Amino acid sequence: MNTYHLSDLEIEPEKKGSDRYIKISYPLRYGRFNEIRTREHIFRFTLNGEIKTIQGSSGGWLETAEWLKRTAGNDWAYFSAGGYNGAYNYTGEYYIPCLDYQTNTIFGYGKFESMEVRNAFDAWRSLRQKLDGIDTGDLPEPVASLIDRILRMNSKNLEKRGKELHDIIGGPVSVLPPDTRHVEYDVIPVTIADGCLYNCGFCRVKSGMGFKTRTRESITGQLHALKRFYGRDLINYHSVFFGQHDALFAGIDTIAYAAEKSFEILDIEKSIMKEPRLFMFGSVDSVLRADTPLLDMLNNLPFFTAINIGLESGDPNTLALLKKPLSAQKIQSAFSRLIEINRNFSNIEISANFVIGDGLPDTHLPSILSLTRSQLDHFYPKGDIYLSPLEDIGSKERLLAGFNAFKTLCRLPAYLYLIQRL
Ligand code: SF4
Protein backbone atom coordinates (compact mmCIF):
# COMPACT_ATOMS: atom_id res chain seq x y z
CA MET A 1 0.00 0.00 0.00
CA ASN A 2 1.23 3.53 -0.76
CA THR A 3 2.42 6.11 1.72
CA TYR A 4 0.93 9.59 1.22
CA HIS A 5 2.64 12.77 2.44
CA LEU A 6 0.44 15.65 3.62
CA SER A 7 2.56 18.49 5.05
CA ASP A 8 4.33 16.86 8.03
CA LEU A 9 2.06 13.78 8.07
CA GLU A 10 2.91 10.41 6.54
CA ILE A 11 -0.27 8.43 5.96
CA GLU A 12 -0.24 4.72 5.18
CA PRO A 13 -3.69 3.15 4.82
CA GLU A 14 -4.15 -0.61 5.25
CA LYS A 15 -0.63 -1.39 6.42
CA LYS A 16 0.17 -5.07 6.94
CA GLY A 17 1.47 -6.40 10.24
CA SER A 18 2.28 -9.90 11.42
CA ASP A 19 -0.40 -12.58 10.89
CA ARG A 20 0.63 -14.41 14.10
CA TYR A 21 1.02 -13.31 17.69
CA ILE A 22 4.69 -13.66 18.52
CA LYS A 23 6.55 -13.11 21.79
CA ILE A 24 9.30 -10.76 20.78
CA SER A 25 11.29 -8.05 22.56
CA TYR A 26 10.40 -5.21 20.20
CA PRO A 27 6.96 -3.79 19.38
CA LEU A 28 5.32 -5.80 16.63
CA ARG A 29 1.98 -4.82 15.12
CA TYR A 30 -0.59 -7.37 14.07
CA GLY A 31 -3.14 -7.75 11.31
CA ARG A 32 -4.13 -4.90 9.05
CA PHE A 33 -4.30 -1.29 10.26
CA ASN A 34 -3.99 2.33 9.19
CA GLU A 35 -0.98 4.37 10.23
CA ILE A 36 -0.23 8.09 10.47
CA ARG A 37 3.26 9.21 11.42
CA THR A 38 4.30 12.63 12.69
CA ARG A 39 7.80 13.64 13.78
CA GLU A 40 7.05 12.71 17.40
CA HIS A 41 4.45 9.96 17.28
CA ILE A 42 3.10 6.99 15.35
CA PHE A 43 -0.71 6.70 15.45
CA ARG A 44 -2.37 3.49 14.37
CA PHE A 45 -6.06 3.09 13.64
CA THR A 46 -8.40 0.16 13.21
CA LEU A 47 -9.87 -0.37 9.78
CA ASN A 48 -13.01 1.38 11.13
CA GLY A 49 -10.90 4.49 11.89
CA GLU A 50 -10.84 4.08 15.69
CA ILE A 51 -7.57 5.06 17.34
CA LYS A 52 -5.82 1.83 18.29
CA THR A 53 -2.27 2.59 19.41
CA ILE A 54 -0.07 5.62 20.00
CA GLN A 55 3.67 5.16 20.10
CA GLY A 56 6.40 7.78 20.58
CA SER A 57 9.00 8.09 17.89
CA SER A 58 11.38 10.37 19.77
CA GLY A 59 12.70 10.86 23.28
CA GLY A 60 12.17 8.19 25.97
CA TRP A 61 9.65 6.21 23.97
CA LEU A 62 12.15 5.72 21.15
CA GLU A 63 14.54 3.93 23.49
CA THR A 64 12.04 1.73 25.26
CA ALA A 65 9.59 1.26 22.39
CA GLU A 66 6.57 1.44 24.68
CA TRP A 67 3.10 2.27 23.47
CA LEU A 68 -0.49 3.04 24.39
CA LYS A 69 -3.28 0.79 23.21
CA ARG A 70 -7.03 1.39 23.21
CA THR A 71 -9.34 -1.61 23.68
CA ALA A 72 -12.69 -2.21 21.99
CA GLY A 73 -14.24 -1.43 25.40
CA ASN A 74 -12.65 2.06 25.20
CA ASP A 75 -9.99 1.59 27.90
CA TRP A 76 -6.38 2.55 27.40
CA ALA A 77 -3.47 0.37 28.46
CA TYR A 78 0.17 1.45 28.52
CA PHE A 79 2.44 -1.37 27.34
CA SER A 80 5.62 -0.98 29.33
CA ALA A 81 8.89 -2.78 28.55
CA GLY A 82 9.54 -2.74 32.32
CA GLY A 83 13.10 -4.08 31.83
CA TYR A 84 12.66 -6.90 29.31
CA ASN A 85 13.88 -9.66 31.64
CA GLY A 86 11.76 -8.48 34.54
CA ALA A 87 8.61 -8.24 32.45
CA TYR A 88 9.11 -11.67 30.91
CA ASN A 89 9.93 -13.34 34.20
CA TYR A 90 6.82 -12.01 35.90
CA THR A 91 4.26 -12.08 33.10
CA GLY A 92 5.55 -14.32 30.29
CA GLU A 93 5.41 -11.28 27.99
CA TYR A 94 8.03 -8.75 26.93
CA TYR A 95 5.62 -5.90 27.62
CA ILE A 96 3.52 -5.38 30.74
CA PRO A 97 0.11 -3.80 30.16
CA CYS A 98 -0.32 -1.01 32.72
CA LEU A 99 -3.91 0.09 33.07
CA ASP A 100 -5.62 3.38 33.63
CA TYR A 101 -7.79 1.69 36.28
CA GLN A 102 -6.52 0.05 39.40
CA THR A 103 -6.45 -3.74 39.50
CA ASN A 104 -3.30 -4.20 41.52
CA THR A 105 -0.45 -1.89 42.31
CA ILE A 106 2.44 -4.10 41.29
CA PHE A 107 3.20 -2.75 37.83
CA GLY A 108 2.90 0.71 36.45
CA TYR A 109 -0.30 2.08 37.98
CA GLY A 110 0.05 5.85 37.53
CA LYS A 111 1.73 5.68 34.10
CA PHE A 112 -1.12 7.82 32.83
CA GLU A 113 0.11 10.72 34.94
CA SER A 114 3.48 10.71 33.12
CA MET A 115 4.51 13.53 30.82
CA GLU A 116 4.96 11.17 27.84
CA VAL A 117 1.41 9.85 28.10
CA ARG A 118 -0.09 13.31 28.56
CA ASN A 119 1.89 14.53 25.53
CA ALA A 120 0.71 11.55 23.51
CA PHE A 121 -2.96 12.34 24.19
CA ASP A 122 -2.34 16.04 23.39
CA ALA A 123 -0.68 14.98 20.15
CA TRP A 124 -3.69 12.81 19.31
CA ARG A 125 -5.98 15.85 19.82
CA SER A 126 -3.71 18.02 17.61
CA LEU A 127 -3.65 15.38 14.91
CA ARG A 128 -7.44 15.34 14.82
CA GLN A 129 -7.52 19.12 14.48
CA LYS A 130 -5.00 18.93 11.66
CA LEU A 131 -6.99 16.23 9.86
CA ASP A 132 -10.15 18.28 10.31
CA GLY A 133 -8.52 21.21 8.50
CA ILE A 134 -7.57 19.15 5.42
CA ASP A 135 -9.64 19.54 2.28
CA THR A 136 -10.05 15.88 1.30
CA GLY A 137 -11.78 16.69 -2.02
CA ASP A 138 -8.63 16.27 -4.14
CA LEU A 139 -7.03 13.47 -2.17
CA PRO A 140 -6.80 9.86 -3.38
CA GLU A 141 -9.77 7.84 -2.20
CA PRO A 142 -7.91 5.61 0.35
CA VAL A 143 -6.61 8.69 2.22
CA ALA A 144 -9.78 10.75 1.96
CA SER A 145 -11.96 7.91 3.24
CA LEU A 146 -9.49 7.11 6.04
CA ILE A 147 -9.48 10.73 7.24
CA ASP A 148 -13.25 10.75 7.11
CA ARG A 149 -13.46 7.55 9.22
CA ILE A 150 -10.94 8.84 11.76
CA LEU A 151 -12.84 12.12 12.17
CA ARG A 152 -16.11 10.30 12.67
CA MET A 153 -14.52 8.30 15.51
CA ASN A 154 -14.25 11.28 17.86
CA SER A 155 -14.03 10.87 21.66
CA LYS A 156 -17.80 10.92 22.05
CA ASN A 157 -18.29 8.22 19.44
CA LEU A 158 -15.45 6.11 20.82
CA GLU A 159 -17.12 6.19 24.22
CA LYS A 160 -20.44 5.27 22.62
CA ARG A 161 -18.76 2.36 20.82
CA GLY A 162 -17.37 1.00 24.10
CA LYS A 163 -20.84 1.15 25.60
CA GLU A 164 -22.37 -0.47 22.52
CA LEU A 165 -20.01 -3.45 22.88
CA HIS A 166 -21.01 -3.85 26.52
CA ASP A 167 -24.71 -3.57 25.67
CA ILE A 168 -24.40 -6.36 23.09
CA ILE A 169 -22.95 -8.87 25.53
CA GLY A 170 -24.90 -7.75 28.60
CA GLY A 171 -22.31 -5.64 30.43
CA PRO A 172 -18.56 -5.01 30.62
CA VAL A 173 -16.19 -7.96 30.88
CA SER A 174 -14.86 -7.39 34.42
CA VAL A 175 -11.94 -9.73 33.85
CA LEU A 176 -10.37 -11.58 30.94
CA PRO A 177 -8.60 -14.91 31.42
CA PRO A 178 -4.85 -14.41 31.89
CA ASP A 179 -4.22 -16.67 28.88
CA THR A 180 -5.61 -13.93 26.58
CA ARG A 181 -2.15 -12.35 26.94
CA HIS A 182 -1.14 -14.78 24.15
CA VAL A 183 -3.19 -12.71 21.67
CA GLU A 184 -2.46 -9.31 23.28
CA TYR A 185 -6.01 -9.37 24.76
CA ASP A 186 -7.50 -9.03 21.24
CA VAL A 187 -10.55 -11.22 21.73
CA ILE A 188 -14.19 -10.90 20.74
CA PRO A 189 -16.31 -11.44 23.88
CA VAL A 190 -19.49 -13.51 23.71
CA THR A 191 -21.52 -14.22 26.85
CA ILE A 192 -22.65 -17.84 26.88
CA ALA A 193 -23.48 -18.00 30.62
CA ASP A 194 -23.88 -15.30 33.27
CA GLY A 195 -22.59 -15.35 36.83
CA CYS A 196 -20.67 -18.05 38.63
CA LEU A 197 -21.21 -20.95 41.03
CA TYR A 198 -19.55 -19.79 44.23
CA ASN A 199 -19.73 -16.00 44.66
CA CYS A 200 -16.59 -16.14 46.83
CA GLY A 201 -16.20 -13.45 49.47
CA PHE A 202 -12.75 -12.21 48.39
CA CYS A 203 -13.53 -11.79 44.69
CA ARG A 204 -13.47 -8.29 43.17
CA VAL A 205 -14.64 -9.26 39.69
CA LYS A 206 -17.77 -11.32 40.34
CA SER A 207 -21.13 -10.21 38.99
CA GLY A 208 -22.89 -11.42 42.14
CA MET A 209 -25.38 -13.30 39.98
CA GLY A 210 -26.07 -17.00 40.20
CA PHE A 211 -24.99 -19.14 37.25
CA LYS A 212 -27.33 -19.09 34.25
CA THR A 213 -26.70 -20.38 30.74
CA ARG A 214 -27.70 -18.18 27.80
CA THR A 215 -30.13 -19.45 25.18
CA ARG A 216 -29.07 -20.25 21.63
CA GLU A 217 -31.04 -17.19 20.45
CA SER A 218 -29.07 -14.95 22.81
CA ILE A 219 -25.76 -16.37 21.56
CA THR A 220 -26.54 -15.99 17.86
CA GLY A 221 -28.09 -12.55 18.52
CA GLN A 222 -24.83 -11.41 20.12
CA LEU A 223 -22.70 -12.88 17.34
CA HIS A 224 -24.63 -11.07 14.58
CA ALA A 225 -24.49 -7.81 16.54
CA LEU A 226 -20.76 -8.30 17.19
CA LYS A 227 -20.14 -8.88 13.51
CA ARG A 228 -21.80 -5.54 12.74
CA PHE A 229 -19.99 -3.85 15.64
CA TYR A 230 -16.46 -4.90 14.57
CA GLY A 231 -17.32 -4.17 10.93
CA ARG A 232 -14.30 -3.80 8.65
CA ASP A 233 -11.97 -4.63 11.55
CA LEU A 234 -13.44 -8.11 12.01
CA ILE A 235 -10.71 -9.57 9.79
CA ASN A 236 -8.17 -8.73 12.51
CA TYR A 237 -9.79 -11.07 15.05
CA HIS A 238 -9.36 -14.81 15.27
CA SER A 239 -9.97 -15.30 19.00
CA VAL A 240 -13.14 -15.44 21.02
CA PHE A 241 -13.71 -15.21 24.77
CA PHE A 242 -16.74 -17.04 26.12
CA GLY A 243 -17.98 -15.14 29.19
CA GLN A 244 -18.64 -14.74 31.95
CA HIS A 245 -16.92 -16.50 34.86
CA ASP A 246 -17.59 -20.19 34.20
CA ALA A 247 -18.40 -20.84 30.54
CA LEU A 248 -17.13 -24.41 30.94
CA PHE A 249 -20.09 -25.14 33.23
CA ALA A 250 -22.48 -24.26 30.37
CA GLY A 251 -22.04 -27.84 29.16
CA ILE A 252 -21.34 -29.57 25.89
CA ASP A 253 -24.42 -28.49 23.89
CA THR A 254 -24.13 -24.77 24.61
CA ILE A 255 -20.35 -24.65 24.21
CA ALA A 256 -20.36 -26.66 20.97
CA TYR A 257 -23.15 -24.49 19.55
CA ALA A 258 -21.45 -21.23 20.57
CA ALA A 259 -18.06 -22.33 19.20
CA GLU A 260 -19.49 -23.49 15.88
CA LYS A 261 -21.59 -20.33 15.44
CA SER A 262 -18.72 -18.04 16.49
CA PHE A 263 -16.45 -19.60 13.89
CA GLU A 264 -19.13 -19.27 11.22
CA ILE A 265 -20.76 -15.89 11.99
CA LEU A 266 -17.55 -14.06 12.93
CA ASP A 267 -15.86 -15.34 9.75
CA ILE A 268 -12.90 -16.66 11.71
CA GLU A 269 -11.74 -18.63 8.69
CA LYS A 270 -11.33 -15.37 6.76
CA SER A 271 -9.34 -13.67 9.52
CA ILE A 272 -5.91 -12.37 8.63
CA MET A 273 -4.62 -13.78 11.92
CA LYS A 274 -3.59 -17.43 12.01
CA GLU A 275 -4.14 -20.09 14.71
CA PRO A 276 -7.56 -19.18 16.17
CA ARG A 277 -8.10 -19.48 19.91
CA LEU A 278 -11.04 -19.86 22.22
CA PHE A 279 -10.71 -18.62 25.79
CA MET A 280 -12.97 -19.20 28.76
CA PHE A 281 -13.01 -19.55 32.51
CA GLY A 282 -13.95 -22.74 34.27
CA SER A 283 -14.45 -23.66 37.90
CA VAL A 284 -13.50 -26.53 40.17
CA ASP A 285 -16.91 -28.11 39.61
CA SER A 286 -16.90 -27.60 35.86
CA VAL A 287 -13.44 -29.14 35.41
CA LEU A 288 -14.40 -32.08 37.64
CA ARG A 289 -17.51 -32.79 35.60
CA ALA A 290 -15.79 -32.25 32.21
CA ASP A 291 -16.19 -35.72 30.70
CA THR A 292 -14.62 -37.30 27.64
CA PRO A 293 -17.38 -36.25 25.16
CA LEU A 294 -17.02 -32.60 26.22
CA LEU A 295 -13.23 -32.70 26.06
CA ASP A 296 -13.23 -34.54 22.72
CA MET A 297 -15.59 -31.91 21.35
CA LEU A 298 -13.29 -29.08 22.53
CA ASN A 299 -10.22 -30.90 21.27
CA ASN A 300 -11.73 -31.14 17.79
CA LEU A 301 -12.80 -27.51 17.45
CA PRO A 302 -11.08 -25.33 14.84
CA PHE A 303 -9.86 -23.25 17.83
CA PHE A 304 -7.10 -24.02 20.30
CA THR A 305 -9.01 -23.86 23.59
CA ALA A 306 -7.50 -22.24 26.69
CA ILE A 307 -9.44 -22.60 29.95
CA ASN A 308 -8.51 -20.84 33.17
CA ILE A 309 -9.63 -22.25 36.52
CA GLY A 310 -9.63 -20.33 39.81
CA LEU A 311 -8.30 -22.70 42.49
CA GLU A 312 -7.02 -19.96 44.85
CA SER A 313 -5.39 -22.26 47.44
CA GLY A 314 -4.92 -25.85 48.50
CA ASP A 315 -5.13 -24.88 52.15
CA PRO A 316 -8.42 -25.13 54.12
CA ASN A 317 -7.61 -22.11 56.33
CA THR A 318 -6.94 -19.91 53.31
CA LEU A 319 -10.08 -21.09 51.54
CA ALA A 320 -12.10 -20.23 54.64
CA LEU A 321 -10.45 -16.80 54.87
CA LEU A 322 -11.23 -16.14 51.21
CA LYS A 323 -14.80 -17.33 51.73
CA LYS A 324 -14.46 -19.75 48.84
CA PRO A 325 -17.03 -22.46 49.59
CA LEU A 326 -14.90 -25.44 48.54
CA SER A 327 -12.87 -28.05 50.39
CA ALA A 328 -9.11 -28.39 49.94
CA GLN A 329 -9.72 -31.96 48.84
CA LYS A 330 -11.94 -30.81 45.97
CA ILE A 331 -9.29 -28.27 44.90
CA GLN A 332 -6.69 -31.06 44.87
CA SER A 333 -8.94 -33.27 42.73
CA ALA A 334 -9.54 -30.42 40.27
CA PHE A 335 -5.79 -29.80 40.04
CA SER A 336 -5.09 -33.49 39.31
CA ARG A 337 -7.84 -33.46 36.69
CA LEU A 338 -6.47 -30.43 34.88
CA ILE A 339 -3.00 -31.99 34.77
CA GLU A 340 -4.53 -35.11 33.26
CA ILE A 341 -6.48 -33.09 30.66
CA ASN A 342 -3.37 -31.12 29.68
CA ARG A 343 -1.48 -34.35 29.08
CA ASN A 344 -4.18 -36.07 27.06
CA PHE A 345 -5.73 -33.34 24.90
CA SER A 346 -3.30 -31.60 22.57
CA ASN A 347 -5.75 -28.87 21.51
CA ILE A 348 -6.76 -27.84 25.04
CA GLU A 349 -4.71 -26.14 27.72
CA ILE A 350 -5.97 -25.52 31.24
CA SER A 351 -4.24 -22.96 33.43
CA ALA A 352 -4.89 -22.38 37.13
CA ASN A 353 -4.95 -19.36 39.43
CA PHE A 354 -3.89 -19.16 43.03
CA VAL A 355 -3.97 -16.04 45.17
CA ILE A 356 -0.95 -14.26 46.60
CA GLY A 357 -0.87 -11.38 49.08
CA ASP A 358 -0.30 -10.24 52.62
CA GLY A 359 -2.13 -11.68 55.57
CA LEU A 360 -2.66 -15.18 54.20
CA PRO A 361 -1.97 -18.14 56.51
CA ASP A 362 1.57 -19.56 56.48
CA THR A 363 0.08 -22.80 55.23
CA HIS A 364 -1.07 -21.20 51.94
CA LEU A 365 2.10 -21.17 49.79
CA PRO A 366 3.21 -24.66 50.92
CA SER A 367 -0.25 -25.93 49.91
CA ILE A 368 0.24 -24.60 46.36
CA LEU A 369 3.74 -26.05 46.20
CA SER A 370 2.41 -29.37 47.33
CA LEU A 371 0.23 -29.37 44.20
CA THR A 372 2.56 -27.75 41.68
CA ARG A 373 5.79 -29.40 42.80
CA SER A 374 5.34 -32.44 44.99
CA GLN A 375 2.68 -34.00 42.77
CA LEU A 376 4.72 -33.65 39.56
CA ASP A 377 7.85 -35.65 38.91
CA HIS A 378 9.48 -33.10 36.59
CA PHE A 379 8.86 -29.74 34.92
CA TYR A 380 5.91 -29.60 32.48
CA PRO A 381 5.72 -26.72 29.98
CA LYS A 382 1.92 -27.00 29.56
CA GLY A 383 -0.58 -25.59 32.06
CA ASP A 384 0.47 -22.19 33.35
CA ILE A 385 0.09 -21.32 37.01
CA TYR A 386 -0.94 -17.73 37.70
CA LEU A 387 -0.54 -16.07 41.05
CA SER A 388 -3.21 -13.43 41.40
CA PRO A 389 -2.41 -10.60 43.84
CA LEU A 390 -5.14 -9.87 46.37
CA GLU A 391 -6.24 -6.31 47.02
CA ASP A 392 -3.93 -6.08 50.02
CA ILE A 393 -0.57 -7.00 48.54
CA GLY A 394 1.41 -5.54 51.46
CA SER A 395 5.01 -4.85 50.47
CA LYS A 396 5.51 -5.08 46.70
CA GLU A 397 9.13 -6.20 47.16
CA ARG A 398 8.09 -9.00 49.51
CA LEU A 399 5.36 -10.12 47.13
CA LEU A 400 7.73 -10.23 44.14
CA ALA A 401 10.36 -12.08 46.22
CA GLY A 402 7.67 -14.59 47.26
CA PHE A 403 6.66 -15.02 43.63
CA ASN A 404 10.28 -15.60 42.52
CA ALA A 405 10.82 -18.17 45.25
CA PHE A 406 7.63 -19.97 44.21
CA LYS A 407 8.50 -19.83 40.50
CA THR A 408 11.88 -21.48 41.13
CA LEU A 409 10.25 -24.46 42.84
CA CYS A 410 7.06 -24.78 40.79
CA ARG A 411 7.15 -27.54 38.14
CA LEU A 412 4.84 -25.67 35.79
CA PRO A 413 5.37 -22.25 34.15
CA ALA A 414 4.42 -19.59 36.74
CA TYR A 415 3.42 -15.97 36.18
CA LEU A 416 1.63 -13.12 37.91
CA TYR A 417 -1.95 -12.49 36.84
CA LEU A 418 -2.58 -8.90 35.75
CA ILE A 419 -6.32 -8.40 35.71
CA GLN A 420 -7.53 -6.85 32.44
CA ARG A 421 -11.10 -5.94 31.68
CA LEU A 422 -12.76 -5.36 28.34
S1 SF4 B 1 -13.43 -16.25 42.19
FE2 SF4 B 1 -14.55 -17.06 40.43
S3 SF4 B 1 -16.16 -18.34 41.35
FE4 SF4 B 1 -15.38 -17.04 42.99
S5 SF4 B 1 -16.75 -15.25 42.94
FE6 SF4 B 1 -15.01 -14.73 41.66
S7 SF4 B 1 -15.69 -15.29 39.61
FE8 SF4 B 1 -17.05 -16.32 41.02
From 176, 202, 206, the mutation candidate for ligand 1 (largest count of ligand atoms within 8 A of CB) is 206
User: Are residues 199 and 244 in contact, defined by beta-carbon separation less than 8 angstroms?
Assistant: no
Q: Is residue 422 part of a domain?
A: no
- Do residues 122 and 263 share a domain? no
- Do residues 217 and 139 share a domain? no
Q: String of b and e for 253-275 (b: at least 16 CB within 10 Å)?
A: ebbbebbebbbebbebeebebee
Kindly tell me the sign of the dihedral angle through the C-alpha atoms of 351, 174, 355, 83.
positive
Residue nearest to atom 4 of ligand 1 (CA): 200
- Do residues 136 and 285 share a domain? no
- Ordered per-residue pLDDT tens for the chain, 422 residues: 689 999 899 999 999 999 999 998 888 899 999 999 999 899 999 999 999 999 988 766 655 678 999 999 999 998 888 655 578 889 999 888 888 776 656 776 677 888 888 999 999 999 999 999 999 998 999 999 999 999 999 999 999 999 999 999 999 999 999 999 999 999 999 999 999 999 999 998 888 889 999 999 999 999 999 999 999 999 999 999 999 999 999 999 999 999 999 999 999 999 999 999 999 999 999 999 999 999 999 999 999 999 999 999 999 999 999 999 999 999 999 999 999 999 999 999 999 999 998 889 999 999 999 999 998 999 999 999 999 998 777 788 888 899 999 999 999 999 999 888 99
pLDDT of residue 87: 83
Number of other CB atoms surrounding residue 134 within 10 Å: 15
- Do residues 112 and 221 share a domain? no
pLDDT of residue 1: 65
Q: Is the CB of residue 216 below 6 angstroms from any atom belonging to ligand 1?
A: no
Q: Is residue 66 part of a domain?
A: yes
Question: Which residue, of 157, 186, 209, is where some domain finishes?
Answer: 157
Q: Is the CB of residue 182 below 6 angstroms from any atom belonging to ligand 1?
A: no
Q: Is the CB of residue 198 below 6 angstroms from any atom belonging to ligand 1?
A: yes
Q: Is residue 164 part of a domain?
A: no
Q: Is the CB of residue 419 below 6 angstroms from any atom belonging to ligand 1?
A: no
Q: Is residue 128 part of a domain?
A: yes
CA of 246 to the centre of ligand 1 (A): 9
- Do residues 111 and 195 share a domain? no
Residue nearest to atom 3 of ligand 1 (CA): 198
Q: String of b and e for 372-407 (b: at least 16 CB within 10 Å)?
A: beeeeeeeeeebbbbbbbbeebeeeeebbebbeebb
Q: Is residue 118 part of a domain?
A: yes
- Do residues 409 and 386 share a domain? yes
Question: Which residue, of 128, 157, 186, is where some domain finishes?
Answer: 157
CA of 207 to the centre of ligand 1 (A): 9
From 174, 194, 198, 283, the mutation candidate for ligand 1 (largest count of ligand atoms within 8 A of CB) is 198
CATH number at residue 224: 3.20.20.70
CA of 200 to the centre of ligand 1 (A): 5
- Do residues 333 and 364 share a domain? yes
- Do residues 326 and 229 share a domain? yes
**Could you tell me the CA-to-CA distances from 389 to 104, 112, 273, 354, 416 in Å, in that order?**
7, 21, 32, 9, 8
Got the DSSP string for 72-108?
TTS-EEEEE-SSHHHHHHHHSSSSEEEESS-S-SSS-
Our count of domains for the chain comes to 2
Q: Is residue 42 part of a domain?
A: yes
Q: Is residue 89 part of a domain?
A: yes
CA of 198 to the centre of ligand 1 (A): 6
Q: Pseudo-torsion of CA 340, 343, 348, 354, nearest 10°?
A: 60
- Do residues 129 and 24 share a domain? yes
From 103, 196, 309, 351, the mutation candidate for ligand 1 (largest count of ligand atoms within 8 A of CB) is 196
Q: Is the CB of residue 354 below 6 angstroms from any atom belonging to ligand 1?
A: no
Residues in Cβ contact with 194 at an 8 Å cutoff, skipping those fewer than 6 apart:
170, 207, 209, 211, 212, 214, 244
Residue 111 sits in which domain range? Answer: 4-157
- Do residues 331 and 187 share a domain? yes
- Do residues 11 and 153 share a domain? yes
Q: Is residue 421 part of a domain?
A: no
Question: Which residue, of 101, 128, 157, is where some domain finishes?
Answer: 157
- Do residues 389 and 298 share a domain? yes
Cα 227 from Cα 231, distance rounded (Å)? 6
